[in-house]
Structure 1
């Protein structure tokens, strides 16, 4: 996260550099080895967070060691934290075994940390979002929602939900929707793109440039409905236009570590919307999260991208747009394959689970 307005870089960034700003973390080679636990101040050391201590229990997050130390001080009956050893993991207590119970434990914990001033730059009162994000057993699996009964007997994918601002503290994978609204033919050099400037009052990345519409997927809401909601709230777009013209075009994923050295692995579902000729449309700010919208030429968008004034994950979405529509090709971009592969990271998820 950043609270500072953007400052253009002194020399233009390459497309690969833009992607690396967003996808900026890899687990250390000794992840899962006992020697990392001798350095509690090491911000590169993380411990898997699982639902239980049972073999094969899903890994749902990666905890920094200072978070682990705080959890050790919690009352018995909520967390299990073995002594450091190779391959150990932190988990809920065996009694905290349903989505509702897990959600309740995290709600009480995170609100108490907020109110006592723990991690104010992440979950302080000004950072608190009051929005619940879902956490899944399989982060690449189906988006399931509130189970009809509060039981894990069906082994559904939905594990629990937690405050959005706290997700980075626990290294859980979060999800969002990002859409590029363009005028003209997407593959044409004459295409124009609607680019918003984030409000100066935004909790994160104020005054940076953004994707045409973007937002997180709150718990209990389907992916496309999240997009419809964001379009209405951020850009004053009628739901009928979004449902008729927004096209799902894939997803990007990346492993981001923020400036506080907490992990924010994310998956963004990506959409395009070509402004229809028979429906004149101009996005307009509505809910105060966007300062203004500007219709920029392709060259203008590329220039501002390379100045480094787009929010990093929004820059990655635009690079993906360039790839998909032929504005970035293997013939003119020497780093093409690394760019494409880094836009679709597996987040090293297999390594989270290797020792579990």
Structure 2
């Protein structure tokens, strides 16, 4: 999502971007140096961070505006830019290896926010414009478009607020189901209640399936979700306050016993509706800064507008290896930053 508070600097940022040249992957914290534990909480540690791609270009394309990450079939990082470009990044150096432009059926740019990669390399990409989820081939051709419940469409077609729709996207265990997270509440639902929509694959098509209610912390939205093999979710919650900076929290959530809300018109605290349970893993303000600097006020200079998250595997102790990325909005006051975490669930 392009946060309102930084729009004032966007034009200046885009102008600056046109003057940038491609930068190599050599800045500090970018290489495959040994990881070291720096606790953020009893269950989350940060190993390192990388600003290697901040304000760089690749073949004339601005590298930034990252809204989502996924592990591709070859082990590389698929990094989705919310201005309709999908980058293929080297998983160690982060050096871009390829870039594919995405568009809607009319060739128009998307506000692309979430990505999931299927076993055959097909890309599932969410856009919060309508909102929508489309399936793309590796070369960017549209293969299919998934159905969306009418209530989740942006008003006046539905009850959703622009730029508060499908942000998080993740395949569910087994690869035959998909989950998308709305960033904010739809009209008529209680503030702070966001809907998680799922689809089930039938042959080669996805059909609407269960929907769940998730309660965010006050003032925060959901920019990303990632499913674990047992069906639980890592949920990223994020907010921004001018003059203060970002709040970013990582939760472990469990939708397995939540109520299917797909048939409930308004979520306003009805008895018997069980939302997705959640447990705080870490508030990232408590992470050590590791020498990071911020270009705008932040409660911790390590923080920025974190939007993307993916799980790349497990370490030797069984902890999840999690990578986060911030969306710099092409703004000179923000940073494209990758974060390497270890998470015990």
- Scaled to the shorter chain, the TM-score interval is under 0.3
Higher share of residues assigned strand: 2
User: If the length of structure 2 is used for normalisation, what is the TM-score?
Assistant: 0.27
User: If the length of structure 1 is used for normalisation, what is the TM-score?
Assistant: 0.27
Which one has more relative contact order, counting CA pairs under 8 Å at least 6 apart? Answer: 1
